[in-house]
A = this chain, B = another copy of it.
Amino acid sequence: MSPASATRSKPAIGEFELIARLARILAGSGQHESVLVGIGDDTAAALRVGSADLYTTDTMVDGVHFRAGQTPWRDLGWKAMAVNLSDIAAMGGTPLYSLVTLGIPAGARAVDLLTMYRGIREITGRFGGRVVGGDIVRAPVLFVTVAMVGAASTVRGKPALLLRSNARPGDLIAVTGTLGSSSAGLKAMERGLNSRPATRLARSHTRPSPRISEGQALVAAGVRTAMDVSDGLIGDLGKLCDASAVSAVVEAEAIPVSKDLRSLFPDDFLSYALGGGEDYELLFTGPRAAIGRAMAALGPGMATVIGRVEKRGSRSRSSVSVIDGRGRPVVVERAGWDHLDAPQARSRGRPR
């Protein structure tokens, strides 16, 4: 079973290396004083225009991130916006405006595109990020690119961002909602399951809810470290640990899993919860007091403490360990879901 194959795809060439080299090329161009967080540093770029502004973009390509004809058009519109809204949520910000670019192949039907836009309207009506412009181009393949700007939250008048790089040994690790439902929902759809639990899981995959208000609540509670879970808990927590130069220990039995996932996949639910992507929940860390305030602000059952941040081991490499209820290690390879063992290779060789 490979829940990680459910996550969104990267090109087959070395993405991390490519981004690093592209960023180096751009490093020399123009002024820098107003950049708070730039390329490669986090989910979204954070810049000071008026207050701090957040910029993010995500693209969905037919045959890579969805399949036209199988993915309902309205769900496609919802999800194309949701992944961008989730990037803003992961910084603790407020989505403001979006530009939507459609690449349209010959034979595309206007009715389908209009239906897709109804999904866009539905999610922006609920979470913000209204579309204010865009571009339509002819292309051999259907794709949807969303660029979104948001406002950073402020604390005592200063921008306060959730970053990946702020985790410190001793921090607690927590997550909103439940994990694994999205990838399990995709599996349920692929198997043609249509029970109530299967349908609800599928909806987690097709209609993820960006955690906008939750991200804002985290900032207000004093939490300063978060990311959204797009590539799976173990993989994303590994990125957070890399960025913060720390390690993490996660208690398997503490990981929140929905009843539906547990009932439909009684043997595999932990694997989905640890490795399945596209849940778009917020993974966050902070000192005990801040996490306590955050849990209280989010409300009962809305977030769960799943582990703790520790110092790196002797080899100065970040690790993510999963332990059972008696403290014994659960065997989980850090990059277990794509069968590659180098951390950088996680997004490199695999289709997402």
Contacts and interface: CB of A to CB of B under 8 A. Distances in A.
A191 interface: no
B57 A135 contact: yes
Interface stretch (A108-116, A249-257, A277-285): A108-116
A238 B125 CA distance: 35
A301 interface: no
A61 B138 contact: yes
Given A104-B11, A110-B13, A147-B99, A39 B133 contact: yes
B99 A47 contact: no
Name, among A53, A55, A120, A139, the residue most crowded by chain B CB atoms within 10 Å (CB to CB): A139
Contact of A96 (B49, B65, B99): B49
Contacts of A50: 49-51
Given A47-B132, A51-B50, A132-B47, A140 B101 contact: no
18 contacts: A11-B108, A11-B137, A11-B138, A14-B110, A17-B110, A18-B136, A19-B136, A21-B110, A22-B113, A25-B117, A26-B121, A28-B125, A45-B97, A57-B134, A57-B135, A61-B138, A64-B137, A143-B143
Interface of A is mostly: mixed
A56 B14 CA distance: 29
A149 B26 CA distance: 17
Contact of A12 (B25, B44, B132, B138): B138
A140 B61 CA distance: 9
A59 B125 contact: no
Nearest to A39: B133
Interface residue range, chain A: 35 or more
A137 B61 contact: yes
A262 interface: no
A138 B64 contact: yes
Contacts of A19: 136
Given A29-B121, A113-B22, A99 B13 contact: no
A336 interface: no
Nearest to A124: B29
A72 interface: no
Contact of A53 (B17, B49, B141): B49
Contacts of A64: 137-140
A131 B35 CA distance: 11
Contacts of A59: 101, 103, 135, 137, 139, 145
Nearest to A84: B135
A200 B328 CA distance: 72
A351 to B, nearest CB: 7
Contact of A131 (B26, B143, B147): B26
B114 A45 contact: no
